[in-house]
Amino acid sequence: MKTNSTSENSRDYLIAGMFSKIAPFYDFLNHFLSMGIDIYWRKRLIKLIEPSQKSPIFLDLATGTMDVAREIEKKFRDNGGFICGIDLSFKMLSLGKKKINKSTISPVCANAKKLPIKNFSVDFVTIAFGIRNINPRSNTYKEVLRVLKPGGKFLILEFGSTQKKILFGLYNLYLNHLLPRIGNLISKDPGAYTYLSETIKKFPMAEKLQMELVEAGFRDVSYIPLTFGIVNLYTATAPK
């Protein structure tokens, strides 16, 4: 068990190191490689957040340069809410912090599998394009259930699996060949976008991820495919 834990920690910090290397190019490549559609995907995520109480507490996992956290703040700026953005890469958080200046967003460098958050203290947990980099995902599901208030919401925005053809196979071709070449060239990291492409290809089908969340203990789990299934938007509720 100790060996597995050590191996898992090593993997986590190797991934954190990779994201730190590509951090200066990360925002540009997100927009460039998705032709700007990633902005729309994030807005769809934010649209599903509807607090029923004053001063909601938000937790954004794998927050990166904090684009999702910033969108949450824009929407709920006058609602007295508080946002904590957690990421394993200090470099990503540092770049994101330059974009937020004075705000209610608190960046924290931590592992999504071991959250420095009190039990039953959060109203909404979000994660955009980060769940596929977490292994095992079950550890994060447990932590999310621990920190969410009863009835709190967990929202996941993630690429769909390419185990089936998307857009008649054109997206699969783009993912397998063009994305890693362009990403690796611009980021000057020969393996980063090859790795990211591989994680998308290996990611489970939407129905399987939905079942994972149900088996973890979430209620009312559903998902919405966006842009022909290139990404999926999942919602899940902590039991009351």
**Rounded mean pLDDT, 17-24:** 90
DSSP letter for 88, please.
Answer: S
Phi and psi of 128, rounded to 5°?
A: -115, 120
Return the pLDDT at 136. 95
Q: Write down the pTM of the prediction.
A: 0.93
Question: What residues pair up with 158 in beta bridges, in sequence order?
Answer: 232
Q: What is the pLDDT of residues 22-74, one digit of tens each?
A: 988 889 888 888 889 999 999 999 999 988 778 899 999 999 999 999 999 98
Beta-strand pair 219-226/105-109: unpaired
Q: Is 143 a residue whose pLDDT tops 90?
A: yes
* CA 222/CA 234 separation, integer angstroms: 6
Residue 1 confidence (pLDDT): 41
Gyration radius of the chain over CA positions: 17
Identify the CATH class of 2-237: alpha beta
pLDDT in tens, 102-112: 778 999 999 99
Confidence of residue 99 (pLDDT cuts 50, 70, 90): confident
Amino acid, single-letter form, for residue 94: S
